[in-house]
């Protein structure tokens, strides 16, 4: 049976500073006087340069009532904040038109009267990034913005994660900053719990918009809202104490008398659609470029072999031949219409003080294009016709676009893990509607994203459970493999927890939702995977550094190549027979230089790490191992020591009391009542075992034959026989103490007794030693300064513990067991699993001190634990691995979450990390070796001996496929199979 997932609470990257969630992203008004100001955006047509945008900005700022105006040249937009008492929208549009431009108002935010404040973590899609240099450029821009605390940009996902103070900067300001740098940007989502994005249908006129505003303003609990007319999206910021998401939507729909309909917008669905849109756009550009390039290539290769066609191409039309006109016309469209994106991207990179792949492509294609144009003009003037290279420019752009299309497809594959997880989420739910008396009066189908805590949901056989919750009625088997990885169905009945997205197989269930939205386990898994894919492994800093200097170095090398071959030709260092027909030394040198510029693109280098990390995190999630980042992957592949907590990690954590011996004249029931009362406030697994043992004793001691079994079970769980305990305190590494009936009671080990001056008789000591030598824990109990009894507790080992320990040693990893249990019990357990290195958990630092001692000498240490007391050690370790069924704090402190609560996944985590970084190193080898080999060939290093050249269009093809080869190399990780223990241990079954 799959392990219990009770209490599982996944959180995002543990080392991130927490953000206050009361801030809204919908700040669409001036912060100094939000109640009186409005903000609009205007489309401005006709701007061609910075002088134009300055003119528009000056015209707007000169208006009486305008508080702030900014103009984005590349986006042809103006953003204006103004006082509506002094200005109207038409006045702003007229001012722009009076300045000589066309204006169209495109957005009119609507707001409430409240001002949210907090630090937010927002996600933005960023389009137009082509290599690591682009990533560095965008990150640099974001980090310089006022109010931005942290910014991470991922090339493979085209996502940026920004932590910012929205009292200083809004999401629109961030988007505008990215767009001003020449990239495309749009907001995806934030970490807010009190914001809802709704799609709206039914708005047909301005009256409908005003009605919507009126309904929202009169709805108690709505803090702020913004309606985007173009996207038909409504963003609402609301008070979660007054409104739930469904209550909010129902209130708006009823206020509009059913005219307006709303549906929740899933941010992940929008991201997926953007990925598809990018791939389709690349495909359109590639096919258009290919369609226009084919005639150019045919005119060069095929037409000279067909006399009739060739004679038409040689027909002179004006100063040029018809073939020259056709080539020029077709390639001009390819160069400046289809290839416009390369010029735009190159310009924005240079404007931001950086260089990237687009700079190289723009340089290479422009050189061949403008040389060809100049050659034609020179021939028309002088009569000396040099060869043209229009086809080089056309084929270069075509191959680059083909490479970008394949790259977009491959990168889309790397995000399949998140897409698959999103698909697991149920779309709708059946809500049981109750009257005021609590009686079910019907059911209603609702959007699963509108479920609220406390809702009772009806789950039919064969459908997905809509949210995390508890079964309140019914019995069925549930497939939880999407979370636990275990295929065996799990029995669910009243009072047992269920996980949203898992599949109800057979019976009918009524489930009470207790975790919804971002709090569900599925959404937290998605968040963890997404955060991991956004993170950067330290090894990527190497690629970022190389990318930052690579392009200038390549341009310099190309310049020297051009100059070297040209001067060598003039000085007679090589014969004229090497020159192309009707060519000259400059043309001959230029082709080598263009090839160098084109082939030396650093794209493959920038994709080597992020694509591999993305695939690895997705593969890990599919195998029940959640990885919190690329840095965790890099550390895990170097692990030399793995520290295991004993209780709940190596053992099942389901301790049972096997012996209860009283050494005083006290009644057995009274003894157990005292011990259970003292342990009732402890969260330690041993305490729970003692409490359960005492409960069973009292159930059998006081049976109730007049009530059915279910009633007895419920009454026994109330533990009404427990005694009142006061001044309870847990003493880590020793036990617990409290006062019952005014007398002090101690429950714990020898150290607790000795420090409280409790005498342990010889016969009691011998009994405890006997327990410990049989791998049981002896718990001493003292009451009113007298030792009154001993409990023997056994916690069975996990069935895979011994095999996993042996497997780790086969992998070159040293297992260590740390426990606060007594030494005899610890050694007995260690011997049973095959661990020779046993460390005592010495307080106050405990396991964390053991971690630090092993880290001396540069050893990479992993800690595997599940309890609150393991959290300091999980945080101190180089790699923390939390058992999925463990506590929230342990999971938050860890770098890996083992969802199946199986120790086998420790081996999976280490093995996956090693294979991932082997793949990353292989990617870097391919990328670097490609450049090391290809650049000298492109520069003509082999030409004097082998007459081997790399034409620019061939160089473009090689450059395009280099990036794709690296991404596809990373995609091979998707074929990863977790290691079988029988393989690791080389066990042969006859």
Over the stretch 679-689, which tens digit does the pLDDT of each residue have?
Answer: 888 877 788 88
In angstroms, the Cα distances linking 541 to 265, 369, 531, 693 are 36, 36, 18, 56
Say if residues 356 and 349 touch (Cβ distance below 8 Å): yes
Active site residue 98: no
Please tell me the distance from the alpha carbon of residue 840 to that of residue 645, in angstroms, as a whole number. 11
User: Quick one: tokens of 120?
Assistant: 């937010």
Please choose, from the candidates 597, 552, 598, 553, the residue with its C-alpha nearest in 3D space to the C-alpha of residue 403.
598
In angstroms, the Cα distances linking 606 to 344, 554, 598, 610, 958 are 21, 16, 16, 8, 16
Helices and strands per DSSP (H, E), number in the chain: 33, 36
Q: Which residues of the chain have pLDDT under 50?
A: 1-35, 107-117, 702-718, 844, 987-990
HEC secondary structure over 272-283 = HHHHHHHHHHHH
Which phi and psi (to 5°) does residue 262 adopt?
-130, 145
Please tell me the distance from the alpha carbon of residue 190 to that of residue 162, in angstroms, as a whole number. 9
Helix axes 340-351 and 132-143, enclosed angle (nearest 10): 50
Residue 490 contacts by C-beta under 8 Å, 6 or more apart in sequence? Answer: 1, 2, 477, 478, 479, 480
Say if residues 630 and 609 touch (Cβ distance below 8 Å): yes
Q: What is the pTM of this model?
A: 0.62
Give the single-character DSSP code of 799: T
Say if residues 151 and 140 touch (Cβ distance below 8 Å): no
Please tell me the distance from the alpha carbon of residue 424 to that of residue 501, in angstroms, as a whole number. 6
Say if residues 657 and 690 touch (Cβ distance below 8 Å): yes
Residue 161 is inside which H or E element, if any?
strand 159-165
Q: Which residue has the tokens 């990353």?
A: 920
Cα 641 to the center of its chain, rounded Å: 28
Say if residues 363 and 339 touch (Cβ distance below 8 Å): no
Residue 795 is inside which H or E element, if any?
none
Please tell me the distance from the alpha carbon of residue 736 to that of residue 336, in angstroms, as a whole number. 78
Give the single-character DSSP code of 648: I
Catalytic residue among 79, 173, 468, 645: 645
Please tell me the distance from the alpha carbon of residue 592 to that of residue 273, in angstroms, as a whole number. 41
Say if residues 798 and 651 touch (Cβ distance below 8 Å): yes
Residues 854, 857, 860: CA angle, nearest 5 degrees: 55
Structural domains of the chain, with CATH: 38-106 (3.30.70.100), 120-189 (3.30.70.100), 453-515 (2.70.150.10), 519-639+878-989 (no CATH), 656-699+722-794 (3.40.1110.10)
User: Quick one: tokens of 726?
Assistant: 């006061």
Q: How many Cβ atoms from other residues are within 10 Å of residue 744's Cβ?
A: 15
**In 89-127, which positions are buried (b, 16+ CB within 10 angstroms) versus exposed (e)?**
beebbebbeebebebebebbbbbbeebbeebbbbbbbbe
Cα 431 to the center of its chain, rounded Å: 31
pLDDT of residue 699: 64
* Strand-pair category, 509-515 with 735-740: unpaired
Please tell me the distance from the alpha carbon of residue 369 to that of residue 390, in angstroms, as a whole number. 6
At 896 the three-state DSSP class reads strand
Bridge-partner residues for 317, per DSSP?
320
Which phi and psi (to 5°) does residue 385 adopt?
-100, 110
Q: Which residue has the tokens 């405990």?
A: 846
Cα 558 to the center of its chain, rounded Å: 39
At 858 the three-state DSSP class reads coil
Residue 384 is inside which H or E element, if any?
none
For residue 564, count CB atoms less than 10 angstroms from its CB and return exposed for 0-12, middle for 13-18, buried for 19 or more.
middle
Say if residues 930 and 884 touch (Cβ distance below 8 Å): no
Is the bond leading into 130 cis (omega within 30 degrees of zero)? no
Which phi and psi (to 5°) does residue 248 adopt?
-65, -50
Say if residues 169 and 147 touch (Cβ distance below 8 Å): yes
């Amino acid at each position: 049976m799959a392990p219990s997932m009770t209490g599982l609470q996944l959180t995002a990257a543990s080392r991130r500073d927490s953000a206050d969630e009361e801030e809204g992203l919908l700040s669409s008004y001036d912060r100094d006087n939000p109640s009186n100001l409005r903000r609009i955006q205007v489309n401005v047509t006709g701007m061609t340069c910075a002088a134009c945008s300055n003119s528009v900005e000056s015209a707007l700022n000169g208006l009486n009532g305008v508080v702030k105006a900014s103009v984005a040249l590349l986006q042809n937009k103006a953003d204006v904040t103004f006082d509506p008492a002094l200005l109207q929208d038409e006045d702003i549009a007229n001012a722009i038109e009076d300045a000589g431009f066309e204006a169209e108002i495109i957005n009119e935010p609507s707001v409430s009267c409240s001002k949210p404040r907090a630090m937010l973590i927002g996600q933005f899609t960023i389009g137009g990034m082509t290599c690591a240099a682009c990533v560095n450029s965008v990150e640099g821009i974001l980090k310089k913005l006022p109010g931005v605390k942290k910014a991470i940009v991922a090339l493979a996902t085209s996502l940026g994660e920004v932590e910012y103070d929205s009292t200083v900067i809004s999401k629109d300001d961030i988007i505008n900053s990215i767009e001003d740098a020449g990239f495309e940007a749009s907001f995806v989502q934030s970490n807010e719990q009190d914001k809802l994005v709704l799609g709206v249908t039914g708005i047909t006129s301005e009256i409908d918009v005003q009605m919507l505003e009126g309904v929202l303003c009169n709805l108690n609990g709505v803090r702020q809202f913004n309606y985007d007319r173009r996207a038909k999206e409504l963003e609402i910021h609301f008070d979660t104490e007054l409104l739930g998401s469904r209550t909010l939507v129902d209130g708006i729909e009823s206020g509009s008398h059913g005219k307006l309909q709303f549906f929740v917008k899933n941010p992940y669905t929008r991201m997926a659609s953007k990925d598809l849109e990018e791939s389709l756009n690349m495909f359109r550009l590639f096919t258009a470029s290919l369609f226009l390039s084919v005639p150019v290539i045919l005119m060069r290769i095929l037409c000279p072999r067909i006399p009739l066609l060739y004679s038409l191409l040689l027909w002179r039309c004006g100063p040029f031949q018809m073939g020259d006109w056709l080539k020029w016309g077709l390639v001009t469209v390819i160069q400046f219409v289809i290839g416009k994106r390369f010029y735009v991207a190159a310009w924005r990179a240079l404007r931001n003080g950086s260089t990237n792949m687009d700079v190289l492509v723009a340089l290479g294609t422009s050189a061949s294009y403008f040389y060809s144009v100049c050659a034609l003009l020179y021939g028309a003037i002088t009569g000396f016709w040099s060869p043209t290279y229009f086809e080089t420019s056309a084929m270069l752009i075509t191959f680059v676009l083909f490479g970008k299309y394949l790259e977009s497809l491959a990168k889309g594959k790397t995000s399949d893990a998140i897409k698959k997880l999103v698909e697991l989420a149920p779309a709708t739910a059946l809500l049981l509607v109750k009257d005021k008396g609590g009686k079910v009066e019907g059911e209603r189908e609702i959007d699963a994203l509108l479920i609220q805590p406390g809702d009772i949901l009806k789950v039919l056989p064969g459908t997905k459970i809509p949210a995390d919750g508890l079964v309140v009625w019914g019995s069925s088997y549930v497939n939880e493999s999407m979370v636990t990885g275990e295929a065996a169905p799990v029995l669910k009945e009243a009072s047992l927890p269920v996980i949203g997205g898992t599949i109800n197989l057979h019976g009918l269930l009524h489930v009470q939702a207790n975790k919804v939205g971002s709090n569900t386990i599925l959404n937290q898994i998605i968040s963890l995977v997404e955060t991991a894919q956004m993170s950067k492994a330290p090894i990527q800093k190497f690629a970022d550094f190389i990318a930052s200097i690579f392009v200038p170095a390549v341009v310099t090398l190309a310049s020297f190549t051009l100059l070297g071959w040209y001067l060598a030709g003039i000085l007679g260092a090589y014969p004229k027979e090497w020159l192309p027909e009707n060519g000259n030394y400059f043309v001959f040198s230029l082709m080598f230089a263009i090839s160098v510029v084109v082939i030396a693109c650093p794209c493959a280098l920038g994709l080597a790490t992020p694509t591999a990390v993305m695939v690895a995190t997705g593969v890990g999630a599919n195998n029940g191992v959640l990885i919190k980042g690329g840095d965790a992957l890099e550390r895990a592949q170097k692990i030399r020591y793995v520290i295991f907590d004993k209780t709940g990690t190596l053992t099942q954590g389901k301790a049972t009391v096997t012996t209860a011996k009283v050494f005083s004249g006290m009644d057995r029931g009274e003894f157990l009542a005292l011990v259970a009362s003292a342990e009732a406030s402890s969260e330690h697994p041993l305490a729970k075992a003692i409490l359960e043992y005492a409960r069973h004793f009292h159930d059998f001691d006081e049976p109730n034959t007049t009530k059915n079994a279910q009633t007895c079970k419920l009454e026994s769980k109330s533990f009404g026989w427990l005694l009142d305990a006061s001044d309870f305190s847990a003493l880590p590494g020793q036990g617990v103490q409290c006062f019952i009936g005014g007398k002090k009671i101690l429950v714990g080990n020898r150290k607790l007794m000795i420090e409280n001056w409790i005498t342990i008789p010889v016969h009691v000591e011998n009994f405890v030693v006997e327990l410990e030598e049989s791998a049981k824990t002896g718990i001493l109990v003292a009451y009113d300064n007298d030792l009154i009894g001993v409990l023997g507790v056994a916690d069975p080992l996990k069935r895979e513990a011994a095999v996993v320990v042996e497997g780790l040693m086969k992998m070159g990893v040293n297992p260590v067991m740390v426990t606060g249990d007594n030494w005899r019990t610890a050694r007995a357990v260690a011997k049973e699993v095959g661990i020779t290195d046993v460390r005592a958990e010495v307080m106050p630092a405990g396991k964390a001190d053991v971690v630090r001692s092993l880290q001396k000498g540069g050893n990479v240490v992993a800690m595997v634990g599940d309890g609150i007391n393991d959290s300091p050690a999980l945080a101190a370790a180089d790699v923390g691995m939390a058992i999925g069924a463990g506590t929230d704090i342990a999971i938050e402190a860890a770098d890996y979450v083992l969802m199946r609560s199986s120790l086998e996944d420790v081996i999976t985590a280490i093995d996956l990390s090693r294979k991932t970084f082997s793949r990353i190193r292989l990617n870097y080898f391919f990328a670097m070796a490609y450049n090391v080999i290809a650049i000298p060939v492109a520069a003509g290093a082999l030409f004097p001996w082998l007459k081997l050249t790399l034409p620019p269009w061939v160089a473009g093809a090689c450059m395009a496929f280099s990036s794709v080869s690296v991404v596809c190399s990373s995609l091979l990780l998707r074929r990863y199979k977790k290691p079988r223990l029988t393989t690791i241990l080389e066990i042969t079954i006859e």
